[in-house]
Structure 1
């Protein structure tokens, strides 16, 4: 490539790639006689973009870690504009590597994920959130190691991905639910992206597929990701569990940051493969051979599991497992042999299962007939006479039973005193004296209902309370909030929207509260009747962020181009959640300027000072 050296120092040689904001060139550093990668910002950017580019370059340059792409220099060329100089990685990005090694064994994915988590751990320790972790931004050098790139570009590109209507057009599949919902980000948002990358390495697709951005965004925000093991049979359970945790809808359920994720992946790699450092070194020395070794081990594992499932008559699961084995080794004679034996195994198993079911039915019948008389407790001796005694049906909740331990489970608080829908009442003869021989009795649970025409019956009808002996049907609260919120009923948490959409309530008065730390709390007291459906669509008011701006005395201070006053300002400035440009103008000095990200409900200090 011909032309004048960039800034008189970097001779551009060939184009390596082009993105929405910048073009990457292979170049020679004429001063140090070495090859580097130079990212040149596309023309047309305003001063705000250039300043953000410079600030992010300075921030990432302070990160020194073997898994983070090193920044060498930042400058501005008179003709081409701002540019960033990075180390040149001779290799490929993770997307290209995945295509070359596909299907990627879970053990290989775990090793790569461990290296990626270490890079994020170093960034998060310095307060840097990447915000655009995806395979294209992960470089794999020949012989290793893995390098995480594009910190600065990601932070700047975020502002361009969010349109004026709130639409998102960037790397949506890797965005955490909270980023799509409110734009909020944290180290846990990067952890979510690593979970998506791990899922995609193993499965060949991201967890939430769909047609169109709207469908994808709704799925990410409202649905749990499918277990990796359900999509990729034979996935080691430790990796399956960790990926599920990384992809949790609630950021508080994920590993908190890259450092914690790296520790967890280190444990996973150690359990399913070997010491992480040794496994990483073996992989980078010969990626194809390393992946082939684990593919063979996985094939043998799937073959063994498929044979075991067939032997136990589980043909459906066996077919899935064996199909996965065929994907690794098409036309495998071992798999074909198992499939040919499948009908015989299923017939013999069916006979055994039928006999076992017949035996179970016979036993249940004998036990049922023998146990039936015990369900009605004998009456007290003094009340065995039927004179003055009436029988009625008392609706009592029958505790659900845990299918694994066969022990009763506690009913939900709202339905603990009533028979919920689908639960059969227990019939029990309850003696009630009508002759008044022993005087008045205190009202109890077994006291007969008051006649409808009596004052007591009228009171019961007026309050909406069910008459004694009637099962109570819970009311239903249907909730929708924007943005997400934790739902509290009578100071007890019922979960988070949008995952929580309906809540059962007992008839009566309840206090509702919707809480999001970035918004004003919304509260309401409601009264519901049995079986009533109540809907609430709540739009929470996002709180302002506060900025304490420190600038030289007498300087005129501007926030996003609007003058906020003369320094020192009397107090903090309230701004919307997101990114803002703060500047100060001092006579005789070049304008001072910073761009900062603020979080709703939080206070941040911004210092603008003249360089010595």
Structure 2
């Protein structure tokens, strides 16, 4: 391969990388005597694939921005097929740089994110969606700037995967939910990918990293990304909030495009580090040294914060902050000493407080159980031997104040009234029997069982005096939902009604609402257990028309609902030279200028303008359901 010349102009020097569709070489442009990066497609695929590659190359070449990799040339070699020539960036990709900087300080994350968002802003302004934003496609030149590469080629790869295998593979971790679900592209899809990159730079892993492609797809479709402040302690809250917004499952909740994201990142960078342009220039001039400086500053701030939290006795928060500091300086003896000190101090305090709480709870429970048993059990149930007729256990003798000695022969009533002042109605029949359900008996001094309410129990046969004392009480315990003193007749025992089971499927995916409450997303959520009744169902997918249904469920019944949602139409507003005949996917739609937009299906379409005596103007566009896209065909894209 080395020394081979393509199209009589580009001499291959060495291989830089190899992918599924193309191999990248460092080459020399013999005509201009400069190094270039040459991307040569692998043989095979047919003429249609080569034509699509050419069109995408033209699209990428139309972008001119400091943060976008420059496309110099496109050509076809008789022996090896199509190739694309780009500027050669002497540096490394973002993944390799992140490994050098790990752990990446938030200031560096903001700088890299801002540069990347600016590149996307330039692309989105021209209606171009990158479709494969990932660290491998982001190049960082020595001394700067950052360059976004691989416009067009990645789109071709994804299209082929979708049509040939029916599944999306490759850059799955960076794909937005709508791409995985329907293949839809929009600027917000690129914003989602940037959110994944920012998360990965901060945390060292992607938001939904898991156990394979199926697990990843289910997580992306049904779960929100975890907050960065929890996964990577020490991350500034505003940065965590912005990343969470970029990773919203609904595209409408994300920043609209690269320009909006760049503005948000610029504001954060100004707040955290200083003037964005100056900070970016200094960082890219010496990324490792600058990142080390930022890490040291942040380490000192976290260490000081941790000391303050320990001094205030906030051990849990202090541990979180100090562990964040330890990720920045793993060998810091000072942080290790503080972390070792915290468990002993907090453990002794927690043990002392816990022992005190247990002691108080035990004493209180014993007192409460004695008091409530005295109140709940009629006095006539106590036998002369001092044993309770209800439990057969000996009751403790009440304490008699010395100032009021018990009269000879005084019964239980006299002893009880000397324990504490009796209310004015002390002579009345005990009313606590009908106001409270019976308590479980206390055995072996178990205070915990005494405080736990338990179901009513069957009492043993009691003396006649007890029966007379309880005769005014209802024959069943009063439940928590009934007012005290309720005397309605007990309902006959009946088995509880079995819940109904609602099984739902939706194509494509949908969020399922039952009576206005979300029950999750299909396909992860398939069954809902509900009480019998009538319910209003709503199936929501932002790319489709909502579907509403009403369902009536009987006890124990299983009902299935299979819903097919209709994708919303998209609109294409075509701008072309006056008098040109306009076509969408080969179908003529009118003469320019059109009175309004053309309604099309969600997905990819080819828009063409034909004029007599002039070459046709053509563009391929991706439209999103429910949205309008403007396409300019006044010049060749």
**Is the shorter-chain TM-score for this pair beyond 0.5, marking a shared fold?**
yes
Q: In structure 1, how many angstroms separate the alpha carbons of the residues matched to 2:556 and 2:356?
A: 43
Residue pair 2:3, 2:13 contacting (<8 A) in 1 also = no
CA-CA distance at 1:260 after TM superposition:
1.0
CA-CA distance at 1:134 after TM superposition:
0.6
1:428 aligns with 483
Residue pair 1:313, 1:350 contacting (<8 A) in 2 also = no
Residue pair 2:505, 2:562 contacting (<8 A) in 1 also = yes
Q: In structure 2, how many angstroms separate the alpha carbons of the residues matched to 1:146 and 1:276?
A: 14
Which residues in structure 2 correspond to 1:453-602 (within 5 Å)? 479-487=504-512, 492=516, 494=518, 497-498=521-522, 508-516=533-541, 518-519=543-544, 521-528=546-553, 535-542=560-567, 577-579=602-604, 595-599=620-624
CA-CA distance at 1:246 after TM superposition:
1.2
CA-CA distance at 1:284 after TM superposition:
0.8
1:177 aligns with 177
Deviations along 1:214-272, one digit per CA (max 9) or x if unpaired, are 11111111111111121211111111111111112222221111111111111222222
Deviations along 1:502-557, one digit per CA (max 9) or x if unpaired, are 7797864344332435446544321235797755343435568799999xx9x9x9
The 3-state SS of whatever aligns with 2:6 is coil
Q: In structure 2, how many angstroms separate the alpha carbons of the residues matched to 1:281 and 1:547?
A: 40
Residue pair 2:221, 2:521 contacting (<8 A) in 1 also = no
CA 1:587–1:61: 2 relative to 1, 3 Å: closer
2:66 aligns with 66
1:103 aligns with 103
1:406 aligns with none
The 3-state SS of whatever aligns with 1:25 is strand
Q: In structure 2, how many angstroms separate the alpha carbons of the residues matched to 1:63 and 1:542?
A: 32
Larger Rg: 2
Which residues in structure 2 correspond to 1:80-479 (within 5 Å)? 80-162=80-162, 164-311=164-311, 318-347=318-347, 349-350=349-350, 353=353, 427-428=482-483, 479=504
CA 1:94–1:565: 2 relative to 1, 3 Å: closer
Deviations along 1:112-161, one digit per CA (max 9) or x if unpaired, are 11111111111111111111111110010111111111111111111133
2:424 aligns with none
The 3-state SS of whatever aligns with 1:28 is strand
Deviations along 1:14-60, one digit per CA (max 9) or x if unpaired, are 22222211222222323333222221222213222222222222222
Deviations along 1:57-100, one digit per CA (max 9) or x if unpaired, are 22222222211111222222223322222111111110111111
Q: Which runs of 5+ in 1 are unaligned?
A: 370-390, 394-423, 433-447, 453-470
CA-CA distance at 1:338 after TM superposition:
1.1
TM-score calculated relative to the size of structure 2: 0.68
CA-CA distance at 1:327 after TM superposition:
3.5
Q: Which runs of 5+ in 2 are unaligned?
A: 366-370, 372-433, 437-478, 592-596
Q: In structure 1, how many angstroms separate the alpha carbons of the residues matched to 2:506 and 2:538?
A: 11
Which residues in structure 2 correspond to 1:31-70 (within 5 Å)? 31-70=31-70
TM-score calculated relative to the size of structure 1: 0.71
Deviations along 1:423-463, one digit per CA (max 9) or x if unpaired, are x955436999xxxxxxxxxxxxxxx99x99xxxxxxxxxxx
CA-CA distance at 1:176 after TM superposition:
1.0
Q: In structure 2, how many angstroms separate the alpha carbons of the residues matched to 1:478 and 1:297?
A: 55
Residue pair 2:269, 2:275 contacting (<8 A) in 1 also = yes
Q: In structure 2, how many angstroms separate the alpha carbons of the residues matched to 1:609 and 1:244?
A: 39
Q: In structure 1, how many angstroms separate the alpha carbons of the residues matched to 2:195 and 2:573?
A: 37
Residue pair 2:2, 2:14 contacting (<8 A) in 1 also = no
Q: In structure 2, how many angstroms separate the alpha carbons of the residues matched to 1:265 and 1:319?
A: 30
Residue pair 1:312, 1:349 contacting (<8 A) in 2 also = no
Q: In structure 1, how many angstroms separate the alpha carbons of the residues matched to 2:631 and 2:229?
A: 47
CA 1:558–1:511: 2 relative to 1, 3 Å: closer
The 3-state SS of whatever aligns with 2:537 is strand
Q: In structure 1, how many angstroms separate the alpha carbons of the residues matched to 2:519 and 2:186?
A: 21
The 3-state SS of whatever aligns with 1:38 is strand
